[in-house]
Amino acid sequence: MIQKKIDSLHELYIKNDVNSKAIPDVWWQEFITACQTENNQNSSRSEWLHNAASELDYAAMSCREWLDIYNTLLSFGLFYSASPLRAKAKEAAIHNTGSKNKSDLNYKLTALFEDCDRHDRDEIISIISHTGKGEYAKKDFEYFIDLINKRKETQPEFDTSEIEFYKYIKGSSIAFVGPVSIEENKGHEIDAYDIVERTNYRTNDQINNTEEQGSRTDVSYYNSLQFEAIIKEQEGKLPKNLKFGILKRPKHKDLITSNTVKLTMHDNKKFVFNGHLNAIPHAIMHLLRFNPGEIKIYGADLMVTKQRYANYRPKSLGESDQGLVFVNHDPLTQFNLLHLMWRNSLLFCDEQLESVIKLGESRYMWELEQSRGDSSRVLNE
């Protein structure tokens, strides 16, 4: 029975030009069993899958092929088992020196960017012109690489609508408050910052405990789903106390009826090796363009826990599909970007988030699997 499932998996992968047979069938057998097993019975199997994957030769498949299999494991909540596959994908991308294919070059560029403080700056910049990206994208890469490496003071170009935001943010201390319950009362500390920012702030009722979360909100970033809830449930009105609302798409600005200053987030997809950015990493990338004095994140844990404060997600949105959440928003993409900014002192974290970042990639994925791994873990006939 298991061999039939293995053969079916290979057929599916072959249709997508993925050489899944580069991984031995014994590994696939353990993978299928793990998909049907709850976390509390899966620890030794996860360790085996992780260790066996670590021994594979990155040259056995292309970056795209490794990522295809990695994303499959994410969809089944096998985060720890998956992490070596992503590492193989990065190795395959970085060591791919002969290809002039734009997709291959983009994988190489974004793989190098995740650790751009550990790679040659000029090598990364030289790849950009061959990917087909425009001059704006090249300048954006140069800005962030130089910012991270403290090479020189550079400044991205702003359009007219962003000048006011630049003047507001420049040199200011910023407390960025996420949706996770904060383990200690940090409200006074948060409110002492020049600017307090949150994600998906729809109403002051979302702040359940001001002693823990602070009472102020000056700026909020919105994803597309939360934006839809504002349009349907609040007639397009943002909270009156909000100074700036940062929206995901330009067309969203026209649907907001309140007088809050509305901006659109920059497209950060070009920096991403796999998947899309979650709200906080996306917002941090946007903020760093405006030369803040300091950013400190509170109330975030890179999804290690399921706990979110009450009313953060509107009831009208229902429950999210956890399997799809992690495939679309690769957890290691979020982890590596925040780790890059943190280790280069471009952002600071409260004790809760810093303890997660200090875990490193593998242990972070282990903790994520223990907390979240049981979701969507059924491999059908």
pLDDT at 187 over 70: yes
SS3 of 110-132: HHHHCCCCCCCHHHHHHHHCCCC
HSE value, Cβ hemisphere, 13 Å, CA-based, for 293: 10
Q: How far apart are CA 180 and CA 161, in angstroms?
A: 31
Cβ atoms of 300 and 282 within 8 Å: the answer is: no
- The three-class DSSP label of residue 315 is helix
Cα 64 from Cα 70, distance rounded (Å): 10
| 134 or 380: which leads in pLDDT | 134
pLDDT (average), residues 351-367: 96
Task: Tell me which residue has tokens 């972070």.
Answer: 364
At 194-242, the pLDDT tens digits run 999 999 888 766 677 889 899 999 999 998 888 888 888 888 888 888 9
Strand (E) or helix (H) holding 97: none
Question: What pLDDT was estimated at residue 324?
Answer: 64
How much is the pLDDT for 236?
85
Measured CA to CA, the distance from residue 146 to residue 135 in angstroms comes to 16
Mean pLDDT of the chain: 90
**Total-model pTM:** 0.93
Identify any residues that bridge with 195 across adjacent strands, giving them in sequence order. 174
Q: Where residue 258 falls among pLDDT bands split at 50, 70, 90?
A: confident
Residue 42 pLDDT greater than 70, yes or no = yes
* In the predicted structure, residue 379 carries a pLDDT above the cut 70: no
For 358, the token pair is 């200090």
pLDDT at 312: 73
User: Looking at residues 8-35, what average pLDDT do you find?
Assistant: 95
How sure is the predictor about 353, in pLDDT bands with cuts at 50, 70 and 90? Answer: very high
Q: Quick one: tokens of 23?
A: 């991984």
Of the pLDDT bands very low, low, confident and very high (cuts 50, 70, 90), residue 32 is very high
Instruction: Give the confidence band of 22 by pLDDT, cuts at 50, 70, 90.
Output: very high
The pLDDT tens digits for 107-135 are 999 999 999 999 999 889 889 888 888 88
pLDDT of residue 55: 98
